[in-house]
Amino acid sequence: MYQEVILDHYKHPHGRGLRDGDAEVHHVNPTCGDEITLRVLYDGHTIRDVSYEGQGCSISQASASVLNELLVGKELDRARTIQETFLELMQSRGKIEPDDAMEDVLEDAVAFAGVSKYPARVKCALLSWMAWKDATAQALGEDSVKEKTV
Amino acid sequence: MSDAKLPGLLDAEAIRKDFPILDRVVHDGKKLVYLDNAATSQKPRQVLDAMSDYNERHNANVHRGVHVLAEEATALYEGARDKVAGFINAPSRDEVVFTKNASESLNLVANMLGWAEEPYRVEHDTEIVITEMEHHSNIVPWQLLSQRTGAKLKWFGLTDDGRLDLSAIDEVITEKTKVVSFTLVSNIMGTINPVDAIVRRAQEVGALVVVDASQAAPHMPLDVQALQADFVAFTGHKMCGPTGIGVLWGRQELLDDLPPFLGGGEMIETVTMHASTYAPAPHKFEAGTPPIAQAVGLGAAVDYLSAIGMDKIEAHEHALTEYAVRKLQEIPDLRFIGPTTAEDRGAAISFTLGDIHPHDVGQVLDEQGIAVRVGHHCARPVCLRYGIPATTRASFYLYSTPAEVDALAEGVEHVRNFFG
């Protein structure tokens, strides 16, 4: 579960700290008290920045760092594909062995495959991703999305 | 263990033979070290056998029917009530109400008081007093009652070392206070609270006293008469019994005077289409088919614990707690949330470990076969009070051993190195 990649992101997070954004959300994981405040900044449909501040376990913190690394600079459509692929992997209960195609999409995020075997931790891994989805919806003037992830 | 035998220990190895689950290995051959007893305890074979015997030979609905099985089931169910009454030194068996769990017991009291006539009625311009160290089950029912009635909710805060701050007790409990509800032993910090001081002040102003004994009933002798409370709530599954059965003890005159909460079969005397009259307590508060097999299991658990002796169990846990506090204190970056000594504390020990999140602590301990609880332990206000998101909690029981304390201390050291 604790892959080197995850521990690296945990100890040296990418893009941590709050910066300018078009929308801000605050999401919590009530089962363990993980919290994240996340802002998105768009330039048209290009993601200029995802900034965040929060507290939580290594999985939730590393996941936010990976999210920042993967999504900043991407077009919204591509980012949505990445988010949906990550969600699919995390909800697989350890049954998906990521193939090359999935690795191409998820890059460092494939390291979280092992986390999907631990239902109690899936929410930790998804916290920042659901926050990003919600913030993006708000930035684009859509309804806030808060959905059950497990 | 480097120390000589700790004073007051039970023969845990002999006791463990009664608990088949403690022989389990997890994660490819790691011996299970079960230190999550404050969440739920394990059940001895005697309890499992009593429940399967009930289901295999005596199962029927209670208090109905005249056939053999119905009479046996009723006798077993009511026999469990007798056992529980004896276990807590209740003056009368009719003061023992079976519920689903301690949460239901506490909700039942809150609802009785909301619907009661004077002088018990909680309403606008009256006050409810709880404490900052309550389990959510002893906070939320009172918040609901407060919101529905307009009564003011007040609470005792906490000192830095995890004790109740009673310095302003006369201002917190006042002439307006209708009910004071507090935990005997904190589920998150292990603190044992000073019952006498609170009861004395509550009695001065004529307030009812509700004691949440969920973390006390399993671990120490519980005497409801000595407590001088009006209601005492606890649950079966933390004291070697099954889930799905809890207890509310209440003083007879209160149970007679207070209105029922749930209506249904079993709790009535007569019913017409216009109105009903109610059965006397405890049945007035037990609407519907009760958890019969679970009550039988709780009765067997009470027999099991009583045969060992609650005073001996208390001494065993105290010795282990003292040892654990000493061992854990040696670990750098480990901070206790709660009392830092074994005095006036139960066998639940919460701590933080530097910046390492408790979920990570719990996960890496689990990989070593050590089961602890992580999170806010349904006592989030305690975490807020001490400025932390969560804690790691180890909690012992009568079958816990010094070797398991050693395993915990070594496990925590391993966690430090892993994330260090």
Please tell me which residue of chain A has the smallest CA distance to B384: A33
Q: Cβ contacts (< 8 Å) between A31 and chain B: which residues?
A: 375
Q: Does residue A148 form part of some domain? A: no
CATH code assigned at A18 = 3.90.1010.10
For A38, the 3-state DSSP assignment is strand
B378 classed as catalytic: yes
Neighbours of A122 (CB within 10 A): 22
- Work out how many domains chain A is built from and give that number: 1
Q: Cβ contacts (< 8 Å) between A7 and chain B: which residues?
A: 419
Q: How many CB pairs under 8 A join A and B?
A: 43
Which fold does the domain B48-307 belong to in CATH?
Answer: Aspartate Aminotransferase; domain 2 (3.40.640)
- Asked if B380's CB is within 8 angstroms of A35's CB, the reply is no
For the record, the structure tokens of B316 come out as 């065993």
- Asked if A7's CB is within 8 angstroms of B389's CB, the reply is no
Q: Cβ contacts (< 8 Å) between B417 and chain A: which residues?
A: none
Q: Cβ contacts (< 8 Å) between A124 and chain B: which residues?
A: 359
ipTM: 0.81
Instruction: Give the distance from residue A5's alpha carbon to the nearest chain B alpha carbon, in angstroms.
Output: 13
**CA–CA gap between residue B212 and residue B138 (Å, rounded):** 7
pLDDT tens digits, one per residue of A1-20: 888 999 999 999 999 999 99
Residue that the structure tokens 């602890």 belong to: B372
pLDDT tens digits, one per residue of A63-104: 999 999 999 999 999 999 999 999 999 999 988 888 999 999
- Asked if A31's CB is within 8 angstroms of B360's CB, the reply is no
What are the structural domain ranges in chain B? 12-31+309-419, 48-307
Into which CATH architecture does domain B12-31+309-419 fall? Alpha-Beta Complex (3.90)
Whether the CB-CB separation of B319 and B9 falls below 8 Å is answered with: yes
Q: Does residue A11 form part of some domain? A: yes
Partners of residue B152 on adjacent β-strands: B127
Residue A34's pLDDT is: 84
Q: What is the 3-state secondary structure (H, E, C) of chain B?
A: CCCCCCCCCCCHHHHHCCCHHHHCEECCCEECEECECCCCCCCCHHHHHHHHHHHHHHCCCCCCCCCHHHHHHHHHHHHHHHHHHHHCCCCCHHHEEEECCHHHHHHHHHHHHHHCCCCCCCCCCCEEEEECCCCHHHCHHHHHHHHHHCCEEEEECECCCCCECCCCHHHHCCCCEEEEEEECECCCCCEECCHHHHHHHHHHHCCEEEEECCCCCCCCCCCHHHHCCCEEEEECCCCCCCCCCEEEEECHHHHHHCCCCCCCCCCEEEECCCCEEECCCCHHHCCCCCCHHHHHHHHHHHHHHHHHCHHHHHHHHHHHHHHHHHHHHCCCCEEECCCCCCCCECCEEEEEECCECHHHHHHHHHHCCEECEEECCCCHHHHHHCCCCCEEEEECCCCCCHHHHHHHHHHHHHHHHHHC
Residue A147's pLDDT is: 61
Mutate to test the interface with A, among B357, B361, B383, B414 (most CBs of A within 10 A): B357
DSSP state of A144: -
Residue B52's pLDDT is: 98
- Region A39-52: what's the mean pLDDT? 96
- Asked if A7's CB is within 8 angstroms of B375's CB, the reply is no
Domain span at residue A71? Answer: 4-139
Which residue numbers of B have CB closer than 8 Å to A's CBs? 356-360, 363-364, 374-376, 380, 383, 389-390, 418-419
Please tell me which residue of chain A has the smallest CA distance to B356: A57
Residue B330's pLDDT is: 96
Residue B420's pLDDT is: 79
Whether the CB-CB separation of B331 and B405 falls below 8 Å is answered with: no
For the record, the structure tokens of A115 come out as 């986390």
More confident residue, A147 or A39: A39
Please tell me which residue of chain A has the smallest CA distance to B357: A57
Q: Does residue A150 form part of some domain? A: no
Q: Cβ contacts (< 8 Å) between B360 and chain A: which residues?
A: 57-59
Instruction: Give the distance from residue A95's alpha carbon to the nearest chain B alpha carbon, in angstroms.
Output: 18
Burial of A36 (0-12, 13-18, 19+ CB in 10 A): buried
Catalytic residue, chosen from B195, B378, B406, B419, is: B378
pTM (two decimals): 0.91
Q: Does residue A111 form part of some domain? A: yes
Residue A141's pLDDT is: 86
pLDDT along chain B (420 residues), means of 10: 74 97 95 98 98 98 91 97 98 98 98 95 97 98 98 98 97 98 98 98 98 98 98 98 98 97 92 94 96 98 98 98 97 96 96 94 96 92 92 98 98 93
Q: How confident is the model at residue A55 (pLDDT cuts 50, 70, 90)?
A: confident
